[in-house]
Structure 1
Amino acid sequence: MIRSLLSPLVHLFYPHCCELCGTDLSRTDELLCMTCQDTLPATNFHLYTNNPVSGIFSGRLPVTQATAAYYYSQASGLQRLIHRFKYRQRKDIALWLGKQMGHMLQESAWAATVDAIVPVPLNPRKEKERGYNQAAVLAAGIASVLNRPVLPQALVRSQYTSSQTRKNRISRWENVQTVFSADSCVNGRHVLLIDDVITTGATTEACGHSLLEAGAGVSICCLAYAYR
């Protein structure tokens, strides 16, 4: 009763607003209002074995399943959310989006076979500059829903690489093909590899090969698919 009486007063001085449209959120909404949540461009790829993300790795990387939660589109608010958690220290946004990914994965039978969650690592220098690894925060959100352990040290990025943003597919692959190594802790486990945005899949593919060489079975889940 006390909480219900105090809540409106606290809300007055510490407004809880939608991250995208700025409207006042209800007590049950965490980051976005329901209208803005509904505008996020969900792919539903997790429900289909053959989808555009799994097609990226066909003939390149033997995966159990590959998916992305949303389409990466400049016309949607997702781009703004990604920019804020990558460049404005908004870990809370990445954690919330990770939870949404986890709820989507719960709808898939294959997700029940996942033993552990592995984020794509950042080079330590870049992680220090940013303050955290956004893929690890997404992984933490997913893990809180799926109740699976996160293995942040399962993959190590041993070299600092230049940005992939303006590179073509071949250049992206050459930029990352030798920079990852996997720990033996993944041996015999079905791991879910997590990254933020997938375009050509070069970074994810390099990580996947390292995990396979260490004895893991690999599935992939990215936050967003940047289709071309």
Structure 2
Amino acid sequence: MSLSFRLWTDVLQLFFPDSCPGCGETLRQHDARICARCSARLPYTGFRGGTGNPVEKVFWGRTPVQAATAVFYFAKTGLLQKLVHDCKYRGRRDLALYLGGCMGKVLQEDSSFGPVTLVVPVPLHRRRQRQRGYNQAALLAEGIAGVLCRPCASDVLRRTKNTGTQTRRSRTARWENMADAFALSKPEAVAGAHILLVDDVLTTGATLDACAAVLSAAPGARLSIATLAYAGEL
């Protein structure tokens, strides 16, 4: 783990509230951003990146990926839903960075992700990012990059269309909504790279597919995918 990543997390621990976002209990000094009890309840998937896991199967026949995984399961009203909601809508940048670090530790133990050379988050549209003040996927990517000691590039991919939320759209509508939604800002930065594309929750894969198509068009680029959570069957 890089020195800058450790310093950043130490600063966050000084300034953010000391209650667990999972259960509301007061955090103890040795706790990270969630309490030990909630940490033990985190629903890890146990997927491996290159073994035909459910996340990899989402992209079969559609997007050529070297490896794909999700670190946690996502369920409505579950612990992960609450943590993701806090990351996206309650300004918990510290929590997003912490969860990115958790992702990084899992990926670090999976040899399928060893060849990764560059970490790239799914971007928000500039209007949405101005409203929210940050991109939670970029913070997850920073957390991963800090553990893997890889560069994180949040400026190589941009969202050209304000697609709005995908939550209430049908599967077909999601795919149609994401058409031509992304473009490369710095093609030279991803040429020849093994890119780890990062997002928060995987549902249909429409957003990740749209990003992957753009990134894969760069000369010599290879692609792997990691999401915080997978909204599939437990």
1:1-228 to structure 2, matched below 5 A, reads: 16-46=18-48, 49-182=51-184, 183-184=186-187, 185-215=189-219, 216-227=221-232
Q: Distance in 2 between matches of 1:108 and 1:163?
A: 32
Q: Distance in 2 between matches of 1:47 and 1:125?
A: 33
The question of whether the paired residues in 1 share the 8 Å contact of 2:158 and 2:182 is answered with yes
Q: 1:86 to 1:203 in 2, by over 3 A?
A: same
Q: 1:160 to 1:16 in 2, by over 3 A?
A: closer
- 1:213: Cα distance to partner? 0.5
Q: Distance in 2 between matches of 1:157 and 1:223?
A: 20
Q: What's the secondary structure of 2:212's corresponding residue?
A: helix
Q: Distance in 2 between matches of 1:37 and 1:71?
A: 14
Q: Distance in 2 between matches of 1:63 and 1:101?
A: 18
State the one-letter code of the partner of 2:128: K
TM-score w.r.t. the length of structure 2 is 0.87
- 1:209: Cα distance to partner? 0.7
1:170-197 per-residue CA deviation (whole Å, 9 max, x = no partner) reads 2111111201112311010000000011
State the one-letter code of the partner of 2:160: S
Q: Distance in 2 between matches of 1:68 and 1:206?
A: 18
Q: How many residues align?
A: 215
The question of whether the paired residues in 2 share the 8 Å contact of 1:41 and 1:76 is answered with no
The question of whether the paired residues in 2 share the 8 Å contact of 1:46 and 1:104 is answered with no
Which of 1 and 2 has greater Rg? Answer: 1
- Structure 1 segments unaligned to the other structure (5+ residues): 1-13
Q: Distance in 2 between matches of 1:18 and 1:168?
A: 34
Q: Mean Cα displacement is larger for which, 209-218 or 73-82? A: 73-82
Q: Distance in 2 between matches of 1:187 and 1:178?
A: 20
The question of whether the paired residues in 2 share the 8 Å contact of 1:39 and 1:76 is answered with no
Q: 1:161 to 1:15 in 2, by over 3 A?
A: closer
Q: Distance in 2 between matches of 1:213 and 1:81?
A: 34
The question of whether the paired residues in 2 share the 8 Å contact of 1:94 and 1:134 is answered with yes
- Structure 2 segments unaligned to the other structure (5+ residues): 1-15
- 1:45: Cα distance to partner? 1.3
Q: 1:31 to 1:178 in 2, by over 3 A?
A: same
Alpha-carbon RMSD: 1.5
TM-score w.r.t. the length of structure 1 is 0.90
The question of whether the paired residues in 1 share the 8 Å contact of 2:44 and 2:71 is answered with yes
State the one-letter code of the partner of 2:194: H
State the one-letter code of the partner of 2:191: N
| Identity value in percent | 47
Q: What's the secondary structure of 1:203's corresponding residue?
A: helix
